[in-house]
Structure 1
Amino acid sequence: MKISSNFDAGSIEIASLERFDDIQLNIRKDNASDFAQWFYFRLQGAAYQYCQMKFLNAGQSAYPAGWQDYQAMASYDRVNWFRVPTHYDGQVMTIEHTPLANSIYYAYFEPYSNEQHLNLIGQAQGSGLCQVTDLGSSVQSRDINLLTIGHEVESDLKVWIIARQHPGETMAEWLIEGLLSRLLDPQDPTSRALLDRATFYIVPNMNPDGSILGNLRTNAAGANLNREWLNPTAERSPEVLAVRNKMHETGVDLFLDIHGDEALPYVFVAGNEGIPNYSPRLAELEENFKHHLLLASPDFQDEHGYAKKEAGQADLSMATAYVGNQFDCLAYTLEMPFKDNANLPDDDYGWNGQRSLRLGEALLTPIYAVLNQLR
C-alpha cells in the first residue's frame, strides 16, 4: 500500500500506513500560511480492501464546519469523479471506501489541473473570437493569463470575470470553462447579442502558484489574494497588482469574482451593500441580476448566504468591494459549494465540475438581462 501526492495540486501528510482500515493522515497547510483544508492524493495497492482513511487534524482545519455533511470525492481516471462515504465526529474526518482498482485518487473537490487550464486557454484562442494576453507573472514566475473576447472598442461595456483567487476553489475554473464554451459559440444568440455590446475580460486562474502547490487559499508568498486589492505589491501579490492595473486601463462596468464556500451547501452571491459608493442604482442592478439568475438556473438561490454588510462596513481590500466602489459598477462574488447543493442534491456526485460548468453557461443570461442598465 502506498499514498503519494507529488503531482499537480497534490497535498497530504501521512501519519500511519500500517493497516487498510486504519490509514492515518493529516491535511497539509498551504505552503506559506496556516490555511489547511485542501487534500488530493493517490492511494495504490488497496484494491478490494475496505479502507478507513482518517484525517486526524480535520478539527483544526481552516473551516472545520466544512466537514459537516461533507462527502469526499474519488476517481480512478481523474476524469470521472464521484462521492464516497465520509463522516466527521468533530475532530477526525473519516473516508470509508473499498477501491475497485489498485490506483485511485481522493480529493477535497474535483481538481482543475494546470494542463486543463492550458487546454482551456488554447481552445478559447482557437475559437477565433478570443485574444490571449499575458498580464504578468506570479510570485513563482507563472503566467497570469487574460482572455479578451469582443471588439475592444471604446463604446463597448467592459465585463470583467475572475476566478480562483483561492486556488483550492477549483469549481471556479470549471464555471469559467462553461461560461467560455457558451460565450464563444457563434450559434448562441445570447452570446452574439452580448458581444455586440460588450467586451469580456476573463482571468480563469488568478492564483496559478497556489493551484499547482495544492494550496487552499493563498499564493506562493502566503497572501490571501482576496485581501490584497487595496494595496497589492509586486513582491507579495503580483497577481492582483497585474489584474488591477489592467482594470484601471480598461474600466469596469460589471464585475464577477467566482469562488467556492466550504461550509454553506448552496449557490449564492454576495453583493456590495456595505461599500461607501453604494446607491439605489447599484441596489436595483443587484436585484435584477439575481432575479434573472434565479430564472436561468434552479441551482441558484437567494435565501441562504453571507450576512449583509452594514452601510460603509465593506472590506475594500476584497475584490468585489474594491472594484464595485472604485468603478461604481455592479459587482458580485459568486459562491458555489464544496458539498452538495442542498436545494438540488445528487447523492452520487454532489456539487461537481459539470454542475459548475452548467452554472457558468447560465451566467450569460443575467449578464445579458442587465446589460442595458449598466451605464
Structure 2
Amino acid sequence: MKISSNFDAGSIEIVSMESFDDIQLRIPHDNASDFAQWFYFRLQGAAYQACTLRFLNAGECAYPEGWTDYELMASYDRINWFRVPAHFDGQTMTVEHVPLANSVYYAYFEPYSHEQHLNLLGQAQGSGLCQIHDLGFTVQGRDINLLTIGHEVESDLKIWVTARQHPGETMAEWFVEGFLNRLLDPLDATSRALLDKATFYVVPNMNPDGSILGNLRTNAAGANLNREWLAPSQETSPEVLVVRNKMLETGVDLFLDIHGDEKLPYVFVAGTEGVPSYDERIRQLEDKFKHYLMVANPDFQDEFGYDKDAPGSANLSLATNWVGENFKCLAFTLEMPFKDNANLPDDDYGWNGQRSLRMGEAALTPIYAVINELR
C-alpha cells in the first residue's frame, strides 16, 4: 500500500498506514497560511480491500461545518469522479471504501489541473474569437492570463468574469469552461447577440500558484486574494493588482466572481447591497439577473445564501464589493457547493465539474436578459 500526493494540486499528510482498515491522515495547511481544507492524493495497492481512511484533524480545518453531510470525491482515471460517503464526528472524518482498482485518487472536490487550464486557454484562442493577453506574473512567476472576447470597441459594454481567487474552489474554473464553451460557439444565438453589444474579459484562474500548491484559499505568499482588492501589492498579491489595473483601464459594466462554498449545499449569489452606491437600479438588475438564471438552470436558487450586508457596511476589500462600488455596476459573487445541491441531489456524483460547467453555460442567459439595462 502506498499513498502519494507529489503532483499538481496534491496535498495530504500521512500519519499511519499500517493496515487497510486504519489509514490515518491529516489535511495540510495552505503553504503559507493557517487555512486547511483541501486534500488530493493517490492510494495504490489496495484493490478490493476494505479501506478505512481517517482524517484526524477534520474538526480543526478552516470550515469544520463543511464536513457535515459531505461525501469526498474519488476517481480511477482522474476523468470520471464519483462520491464516497463520509462520516464526521466533530473531529475526525472517516471514509470507508473498497477500491475496485490498484490505483485510486481521492480529492476534496473534482480537481481542475494546470494542464487543463492551459488547454482551456489554447482552445479558447483556437476559436478565432478570443485573444489571450498576459497581465503579469504571480508570486512564483506563473502567467496571469486574460481572455478577451469581442470587438474591444469603446461603445461595447464591458463584462468581466474572474474565477479561482480561492484556488481550492475548482468548481469555479469548471464554470468558466462552460461559460467559454457557449460564448465561443458561433452557432449559439445568445452568444452572437451578446458579442454584438459587449466585450468579455475572463480570467479563468486568478491564483495559479495556489492551485498547483494544493492550497484551499491563499496564494503562494499566504494572501487571501479576495481580501486584497482595496490595496493589492506587487509583493504579496500581484494577481489582484494586475487584474484591478486592467479593469480600471477598460471599465466594468457587469462583474461575476466565481467561487465555491464549503458549508452551504446550494448554488447562490451575493450582491453589493452593502456598498455606499447601492441603489434601486442595481437592486432591480440583481433581481432580474437572478430570475433569469433560475429559469436557465434550476440548480440555482435565491432562498439560501449569505446574510445581506447592512447599507454602507460592505467590506470593500472583497472583489465584488470593490468592483460594484468603483464602477457603480451590477456585480455578483456566485457560489457553488463542495457538497451536493440539496434542492436537486445526485447520489452518485453530488455537485461536480460537469454541473458547474452547465451553470457556466446557463450564465449567458441572465446576462442577455439585463444587457440593455447595464448602463
For residues 301-339 of structure 1, give each alpha carbon's deviation from its aligned partner in whole angstroms, at most 9, with x where no partner exists: 000000000001100000000000000000000000000
Query: Which residue of 2 is the match for residue 193 of structure 1?
Result: 193
Query: Which residue of 1 is the match for residue 54 of structure 2?
Result: 54
| Residue 346 of structure 1 pairs with residue 315 of structure 2 | no
**Any residues of structure 2 matched to 1:1-375 within 5 Å, and which?**
1-375=1-375
Match of 2:229, SS state, is coil
Structure 2, unpaired ranges of 5+: none
For residues 63-114 of structure 1, give each alpha carbon's deviation from its aligned partner in whole angstroms, at most 9, with x where no partner exists: 0000000000000000000001211011100111000111000000000000
**Aligned counterparts of 1:95 and 1:257: Cα–Cα separation in 2:** 33
Letter in 2 for 1:308: K
**Aligned counterparts of 2:371 and 2:95: Cα–Cα separation in 1:** 46
**Aligned counterparts of 2:156 and 2:25: Cα–Cα separation in 1:** 52
Letter in 1 for 2:78: R
Match of 1:246, SS state, is helix
For residues 264-316 of structure 1, give each alpha carbon's deviation from its aligned partner in whole angstroms, at most 9, with x where no partner exists: 00000000000011011111110110011111110000000000000011000
Q: CA deviation at 1:139?
A: 0.1
Query: Normalising by structure 2, what TM-score?
Result: 1.00
- Aligned pairs, number: 375
Letter in 2 for 1:134: D
Q: CA deviation at 1:216?
A: 0.1
For residues 212-243 of structure 1, give each alpha carbon's deviation from its aligned partner in whole angstroms, at most 9, with x where no partner exists: 00000000000000000000000010000000
For residues 152-205 of structure 1, give each alpha carbon's deviation from its aligned partner in whole angstroms, at most 9, with x where no partner exists: 000000000000000000000000000000000000000000000000000000
Letter in 2 for 1:140: Q
**Aligned counterparts of 2:195 and 2:350: Cα–Cα separation in 1:** 33
Query: Normalising by structure 1, what TM-score?
Result: 1.00
**Aligned counterparts of 1:118 and 1:95: Cα–Cα separation in 2:** 33
Letter in 1 for 2:296: A
**Aligned counterparts of 1:259 and 1:296: Cα–Cα separation in 2:** 19
Q: What's the RMSD between the two structures over aligned residues? A: 0.3
Match of 1:370, SS state, is helix
For residues 122-147 of structure 1, give each alpha carbon's deviation from its aligned partner in whole angstroms, at most 9, with x where no partner exists: 00000000000110000000000100
**Aligned counterparts of 1:73 and 1:310: Cα–Cα separation in 2:** 37
For residues 25-55 of structure 1, give each alpha carbon's deviation from its aligned partner in whole angstroms, at most 9, with x where no partner exists: 0000000000000000000000000000000
Match of 2:196, SS state, is helix
Sequence identity (%): 79
